A and B are shown apart, each in its own frame.
Chain A
């Protein structure tokens, strides 16, 4: 066991992949000389050289497209997009090329591309750098979406993502990079197909992922002190969703709160709530509730930003209301 950070765990995952497979390389804006805008790839240029740690121009569509070409050509590219906000410039490449080529080629061409990007708010980076758009990508067949929320997953999701013959998008919440915790010395690849029950419980299931997981766990601890036994489900894979784990938690608790930093309307939280009512309707003892971001561009001012995002207080209040029938 050693104490490390989410950022260092992610860097270790990159180093492992670069060492294990010569076909793996990293490219993106400022990943080389600057060390990555969140310092994830710091030191990798010196260790692996310019061939494998490649700085790109500010041109998301071009370098994601280049990544798709490299993947088709037999390499295993890891493309870093600075934040999900900028990924929209490459949306055409991701949706119309990466996600569809296998289908369009009649099953001939897989695109073994991995794209990493940060997502989420909380660092006063204002509306153009703070959104949580992973729910949009979760709409697209042909993509696998991962959201590592723990140090173990930051360390372990990259390698299995590279082994996937089809495109995988990894969403790293920017508030998690500084999280410190213990990591087993032999930590390595993890299962990327299943959600995980981070905390068992019998009264209400808090279903969440990524940057909201620590808030949900804090809420569960507060609820426990009030005598409410809350389960916490970490989705981990946003597409495909692990229905079984979600439904098992709902069947055990009969109440569910979905916490998603994305906007409520048409969001991933809506999809999860819909699945629960389709597949576990007769298990429900209360309506499915959602705690999401306010439907505004994420504000810059700290107090406004905090007010716009899902917070532990609100999760506690909503869960309490579900269990007691009133606040």
Chain B
């Protein structure tokens, strides 16, 4: 048994301090990697913060409402040593002296038990956790008979370990859904993605995500918060304009093909599954970022570091004022439908204030879309350390010259503000041409 400190995380490139707005756990609570254990208030927003170890909360070191510097210890967590027997956890001392954490007898001396594959297979098949089986073989080793005996005893199933696929775990974690309550239908009873999706559906909309124990939140009043948010954003944007030599480019893209394609696709869909134009716009921005590397990455320590994939920041305006730009992770791996779902989910949660800290990892390029507010074109200010921001205006019908004739087509103005330290007008032109080409060839996946 060892202890580790859970420290104030860095939740943004320029974060220096944070406030513990709320503890979701208390001393003695068991925690698992990925559990949200606290809500941290930064100048920009409130973020759910996850723990990275399995263990037990030993004590909380910072009371709710207190502001501390990044890196300051917030809580002490007892973690299991590798190989220690989880069943030998001692009853928790609720008031341990700092630095005097009791060591369970035997835990330090315990060596990882070695079982034959046959035995492990048998245990897995019959749903027995070997850690809980008493061995009767030579030197206390577990025999086949021991496993069979354990399997026949009620209540000794795999309660200690839930089998779930990585994808299922990710889906559940994204929605703060506990795996324990889900029935698995995969091999060996493992929980697979279909099981999680079923559980989400059964739980109904909006439940699940807020599954954590809710406690009254000490919050600063809304006006105060809005002021602080506005100030933080102002600082960031001032820095951007001070340090980044912005240049701008724009193009008007004919959306006749895209609109026709959308109508075709949507004709076969139910209302709630219909694809929205925003999905096409995001998809095109991702395609541009993938093809034009100088628009996608970070300016760090005086040089440009291109990113391999696209972590797509999406500017979302908050009802109380202010702006956050949560990220759609690995957007380059998503198709238009997946992008749309990700966008919908992100906007809902950003406005509700339940953005997870892991979603605030630095985006590699940001998109701002003011189309629904009737703006023709928007030239954004780059979020440092990114090097470009893409703007989409509203989709409007405009007269266009098409093959010598006048026609009325839906169009959108696409802009890019880019960092002249990293790229030149030619790069922006190439980026915009990829965006335009992608939008004009919607039948290509």
Binding site for B on A (CB under 8 A): 200, 244, 247-248, 251-252, 254, 281-286, 321, 325-326
Contact = CB atoms under 8 A, between A and B. Distances in A.
A285 B335 contact: no
Interface string B318-349: 00000000000010111100000000000000
B156 to A, nearest CB: 23
Q: Give the top 8 A-B pairs by smallest Cβ distance, nearest first.
A: A285-B167, A282-B170, A325-B186, A251-B333, A285-B165, A285-B193, A325-B187, A284-B166
B333 A286 contact: no
B333 A281 contact: no
B169 interface: yes
Given A252-B335, A286-B192, A326 B166 contact: no
Nearest to B169: A282
Contacts of B25: none
Interface residues of B, number: 19
SS class, residues of chain A in contact with chain B = helix
A282 B167 contact: yes
B217 interface: no
Contact of A284 (B165, B185, B330, B335): B165
Interface string B189-201: 0101110000000
A251 B187 contact: no
A30 B190 CA distance: 57
Contacts of A286: 165, 186-187, 192
Contacts of A282: 166-167, 169-170
A244 B291 CA distance: 13
A325 B192 CA distance: 9
A252 B445 CA distance: 12
Contacts of B255: none
A326 B187 contact: yes
Contacts of B334: 251
Contact of A283 (B167, B194, B335): B167
B168 interface: yes
Contacts of B192: 285-286, 325
Interface string B255-269: 000000000000000
Name the residue in B170, B190, B333, B335 with the highest tally of chain A Cβ atoms < 10 Å from its Cβ. Answer: B333
Interface of B: 165-170, 185-187, 190, 192-194, 330, 332-335, 445
A284 B187 CA distance: 14
B187 A254 contact: no
A213 B186 CA distance: 28
Nearest to A286: B165
19 contacts: A244-B332, A248-B333, A251-B334, A252-B335, A254-B165, A254-B167, A254-B193, A282-B166, A282-B167, A282-B169, A283-B167, A284-B166, A284-B167, A285-B165, A285-B166, A286-B187, A321-B187, A325-B190, A326-B187
A283 B186 contact: no
Contacts of B187: 286, 321, 325-326
A247 B166 contact: no
Contacts of B168: 285
Contacts of A284: 165-167
A247 B185 contact: no
Nearest to A283: B167
A244 B166 CA distance: 20
A263 B66 CA distance: 61
B445 to A, nearest CB: 8
A325 B167 contact: no
Contacts of A200: 445
A326 B185 CA distance: 10
Given A281-B166, A325-B192, 10 more contacts: A244-B332, A251-B330, A282-B166, A283-B167, A285-B167, A285-B168, A286-B165, A286-B192, A321-B187, A325-B187
Contacts of B332: 244
A260 B332 CA distance: 28
Nearest to A321: B187
A325 B185 contact: yes
A78 to B, nearest CB: 33
Contacts of B186: 285-286, 325
Contacts of A321: 187
A244 B290 CA distance: 11
Nearest to A281: B166
Contacts of B333: 247-248, 251, 283
B189 to A, nearest CB: 9
B44 to A, nearest CB: 26
Contacts of A326: 187
Name the residue in A200, A281, A285, A326 with the highest tally of chain B Cβ atoms < 10 Å from its Cβ. Answer: A285
A252 B194 CA distance: 14
